[in-house]
Amino acid sequence: MTILAIFVIVFSLIQLLIAVVNLIFSQRLSRAGQFKSLISVLIPARNEEQNIGNLLNDLLMQEYINIEIIVFNDQSTDNTAAAVEEIAAKDTRVKLIHSAGLPTGWLGKNHGCHQLATQAKGLYLLFLDADVRISGNVIPKTIDFAEKHNLGLLSVFPRQLMKTTGEKMTVPVMNYILLTLLPLVLVRTTRFSSLAAANGQFMLFNTEIYKQTLPHEKMKADKVEDIKIARFYKSEGIKTACLSSKPDISCRMYSRFSEAVHGFSKNVGQFFGNSLLVASGFWLITSFGFLPVLIALPTAVFLAYLAVLLMIRVIVSAAGNQNVAENLLYFIPQQVALGLYIFKAIINRYQKSYEWKGRKIA
């Protein structure tokens, strides 16, 4: 029991160290450079009538005007196409293309991104999810960062907007996993493909490299194509970077507890090398690790361990631009949510079924 308690403490201290590294070495989008070439903003959209107009208006309000915005209508059954057409009629930079159907062997978003890339003319390809919001002068800032570091891929985790209690109990969990297991600066500064992360909500590609590698085609059947693409790029020696939670890039991913559990169960395993066994081990250690520490070690050590757990939450919240008090308040519910993600992911894997936006995904 003592050995287990010591292991738990060491693991928590490693988490704390990684969180501190992510806070101190936060990679900033600090300035807009002199880049003036055409940028292609590419948006795959399926049943996004509630979101697409907001994103298009955000893009058209950017100071950087040399952009083309292409939306891929992925067989939407709502008014997504009409919402895009209304804005396109007022600004010729906006273009709508329609899916001719989903080919065998492809997943919808991957196919949409691939089709968008074939239509794009810009020197960089910026893929955005339709529920992302942007402000400030974010496009030239990201281009400047990519140019400065000679990147083939730059991905940014948006600041997550949370309104309901259900969201606050669920959405911060993925940020907690990311920022306590992976020093993000190592994504850019090392060649190890295992040290890779990306978020499909915001992915900026160098067009020349993209067309040489065709990453969405290579990952056409992957449910978690963003992380797979980042690992593929690093394995090919292509420079990649991943940044956490920038204030001028935001997203409200889910509006209810059940939505978040359903959505995050799709990709929780990828944070642990696609091993749900490792994911389960992480959950057990971070949820019940206090028990061996309480039983086997002195009270003073147990109290110090609890202080470390709280410090981890505080630092992760600060590094991820999230509310510190709320993440402390929902500490236990967030651990419950993580357990539900993993449990549902296990069920999905053994039933070999997952549904997203009305489509069955094997």
Q: If you write DSSP's letter for every residue of 301-312 in order, what string do you get?
A: HHHHHHHHHHHH
Query: Using CA of residue 267, residue 273, residue 277, residue 280, what is the dihedral sign?
Result: negative
Say what the pLDDT of residue 151 is.
96
pLDDT attached to residue 209: 97
Whether 125 and 204 have beta carbons less than 8 Å apart is answered as yes
In a domain, 19, yes or no: no
What's the predicted TM-score (pTM) here? 0.91
Question: Which H helix or E strand runs over 86?
Answer: helix 80-88
Among the residue ranges 117-131, 141-155, 163-177, 255-269, the one predicted with the least confidence is 255-269
* pLDDT at residue 359 greater than cutoff 90: no
- Residue spans of beta strands (DSSP E) within the chain: 39-45, 67-73, 94-98, 124-128, 132-134, 153-160, 202-206, 240-251, 354-356, 359-361
pLDDT in tens, 296-307: 999 999 999 999
CB-based contact 266:354 (threshold 8 Å)? yes
- Residue 253 has a pLDDT of 87
| Amino acid identity for residue 231 in this structure | R
Instruction: Provide DSSP, 181-206.
Output: H--THHHHH---TTS----TTEEEEE
Check residue 22 and give its pLDDT: 95
* Average per-residue pLDDT for the chain: 91
pLDDT tens-digit map of 12-58: 999 999 999 999 988 777 776 677 889 999 999 999 999 999 999 99
The residues that bridge with 45 in the sheet, in sequence order, are 73
pLDDT tens sequence across 313-322: 999 999 988 9
Cα 257 → chain centroid: 18
Residue 142 domain-assigned? yes
148: left (phi over 0), alpha (psi -120 to 50) or beta: alpha
Q: Considering the domain boundaries, does residue 342 fall inside one?
A: no
- The least confident of 155-164, 176-185, 321-330, 344-353 is 344-353
Q: What is the pLDDT of residue 56?
A: 96
Based on the number of CB atoms within 10 Å of its own CB, is 287 exposed (0-12), middle (13-18) or buried (19 or more)? middle
Position with higher pLDDT, 206 vs 247 = 206
**d(Cα 215, Cα 222) in Å, to the nearest integer?**
11
**Rounded CA gap, 309 and 302, in Å?**
11
Is 216:157 a contact under the CB 8 Å cutoff?
Answer: no
Residue 346 lies in a domain: no
Mean pLDDT of 262-290: 89
Per-residue pLDDT tens over the stretch 125-164 = 999 999 999 988 889 899 999 999 999 999 999 999 999 9
Percent of the residues in the chain that have a pLDDT greater than 90, as a whole number: 71
Read off the pLDDT band of 356 (50, 70, 90): low
Q: What number is the average pLDDT over the span 260-281? A: 87
- Would you mind telling me the total number of residues written for the chain in this entry? 362
101 confidence band (pLDDT: 50, 70, 90): confident
Residue 282: per-residue pLDDT? 96
Phi/psi for 323 (5° steps) reads -75, 115
Number of structural domains, the chain?
1
| Residue 245: per-residue pLDDT | 78
Which secondary-structure segment (H or E) carries 333?
Answer: helix 331-351
Tell me, yes or no, whether 4 lies in a domain. Answer: no
Let me know if residue 97 belongs to a domain. yes
Residue 318: the pLDDT is 93
Whether residue 209 contacts residue 118, with contact meaning beta carbons closer than 8 Å, is answered with no
Query: For the chain, how many helices (H) and strands (E)?
Result: 17, 10
Residue 259: is its pLDDT beyond 70?
yes
What is the rounded distance in angstroms from the CA atom of residue 321 to the CA atom of residue 241? 19
Parent domain of 150: 39-163+182-253
Domain with 63 in it: what CATH number?
3.90.550.10
pLDDT at 271 over 90: no
In a domain, 126, yes or no: yes
pLDDT for 305? 97
Choice between 35 and 202, residue whose per-residue pLDDT is larger? 202
Domain-located, residue 147:
yes
How many angstroms separate the CA atoms of 161 and 123, rounded? 31
